[in-house]
Structure 1
Amino acid sequence: MRAITIRQPYADAIVQSSPMPKRIENRSWPLPARYVGVPVLLHSAAAPERHPILPDAWAIPTLYGDRADQLGAILARVTFTGCHMAGDGCDERCADWGHRQVFHWDIANVTPLPSPVPAKGQQQFWAPAADVLASVQQQIEAVA
C-alpha cells in the first residue's frame, strides 16, 4: 500500500468528521490513474503549512478535532476517486477547499486510525516501511 504526505492542518481536515470535511486535495499535478479507486494511507508531514488557506468555519475550533498538531504520522486510509482541474467538474466540495489553477483530487472512504503511526514521509506517493504497514493494518482491522 502506498502513502501520500499532506501538510497540517489539511491532513486533519481530511481525517476529522466535521460539518465541512475536506474532500478535495489540491495538487499541481494530476492524480496518476493507477491510484484512482485504490486505498492510500494519509500521512501528515513533519512540518505544518506555513500559510494555510482555510475556509472561514475553521475559525471555530469546536468544529474540528485535535489531530492538527500530529506531525510525521499516518493518520488514516483514504481513497482518491478521481481528479479534475479547478473549474472543470467542480462541485460544493471545491467551493470551500479547492484552490484555483490546480488539480483537485476527489477523496472518499476516509478511515481514521485510532492512534497515529509515526513514519517519515516523502514527496509524491511512497511506500511505508513494513513495520509501519503492519501497525496500520492492525488498526484498520480493529476498526472494521
Structure 2
Amino acid sequence: MTPRRTPEPRNHAAGVPVRAVSVARPWAGLILHRGKDVENRTWSTRYRGLLVIHASQSWDQWPDDIARQFALPADKGGHPTGYLGVAELVDVHRHTDDRQCSPWAEPSTWHWCLTNPRPFPHPIPGPGRLGLYTPPPAVVTAARAACSGGGV
C-alpha cells in the first residue's frame, strides 16, 4: 500500500465553489468525528475542494465489528441529520486490487478521499439531495467560517 500525501489545506475565501454530498447515517458522523477518510461512491467527480457533509435521513446498518470498534450508539437518535460539517475532497479514484488507500475503502467503488474534517458546532437542519450539489447560502457561510477557524 502506497501512503497518501496529505495536501495542505486550501484557502476557501468567498467566490471559491463549495459543494455538498448527502451521506447515509452513521457514515456521515464517522467522516467528521471518527477518521473515516474515504467515502465510497458508485460514481466519480472532477470536483476537488471544500465538501459539506450532509447526514441524510437514510440509515445504513453497519457491521457489528465497526459498531463495537467505534462504540457507536445503537439508536438512530444518536446520529443527527442535516449539515454536520466540512472536509476537503482531495482525490477521487477507482478501487484497484493493488491500491488499498484506506481501511474504509470498499472494493468496486470510487474512493472519495477526504482530509481535514471540521464538524460544525451544531447540525444545521436542511434536506439533502442526490449527487453533488451547491448547499444553501447559510451552509456555505458556515462552511467557510469552519475553515477560517470561526464559529457558526
Secondary structure of 1:109's aligned partner: strand
Partner of 2:67: 58
Matching of residue 114 in structure 1 with residue 125 in structure 2: no
73, 76, 82: which is aligned to 2:91? 82
Q: Structure 1 residue 126: deviation in Å?
A: 1.3
Are residues 127 and 135 of structure 1, via their aligned partners in 2, closer, same or farther at CA, if it must alter by over 3 Å?
same
Out of 25, 30, 45, the position equivalent to 1:8 is 25
Q: TM-score, normalised by structure 2?
A: 0.72
Percent sequence identity is 22
Output the CA distance in 2 between the equivalents of 1:129 and 1:3: 10
What SS does the corresponding residue of 1:5 show, helix, strand or coil? strand
TM-score normalized by the length of structure 1: 0.76
Structure with bigger helix share is 1
Deviation at 1:139, TM superposition (A): 5.3
Map 1:22-101 → 2, pairs under 5 A: 22-30=36-44, 32-33=45-46, 35-36=47-48, 38-49=49-60, 51-52=61-62, 54=63, 56-62=65-71, 68-71=78-81, 73-87=82-96, 89-91=99-101, 93=102, 95=103, 97-101=104-108
User: Is the alpha carbon distance of 1:85 and 1:135 closer, same or farther for their aligned partners in structure 2, counting shifts above 3 Å?
Assistant: closer
Provide closer, same or farther for how the CA distance between residues 42 and 62 of structure 1 changes in structure 2, counting only shifts above 3 A. Answer: same
Matched residue pairs, number? 131
- In structure 2, runs of 5+ residues without a counterpart are 1-17
Amino acid at match of 1:142: G
Q: Provide the alpha-carbon RMSD of the alignment.
A: 2.7
For 1:62 and 1:5, locate their aligned partners in 2 and report how far apart those are by CA, in whole Å.
23
Superposed CA offset, 1:52-79 (max 9, x none) = 3x47243145478x985201x1111111
Provide the residue aligned with 1:142 in structure 2.
Answer: 150
Per-residue deviation, residues 89-141 of structure 1 (Å, max 9, x unmatched):
323x1x3x121111111111111111110111000111222234344545555
3-state secondary structure, aligned to 2:28: helix
- Which stretches in structure 1 are left out of the alignment for 5+ residues? none
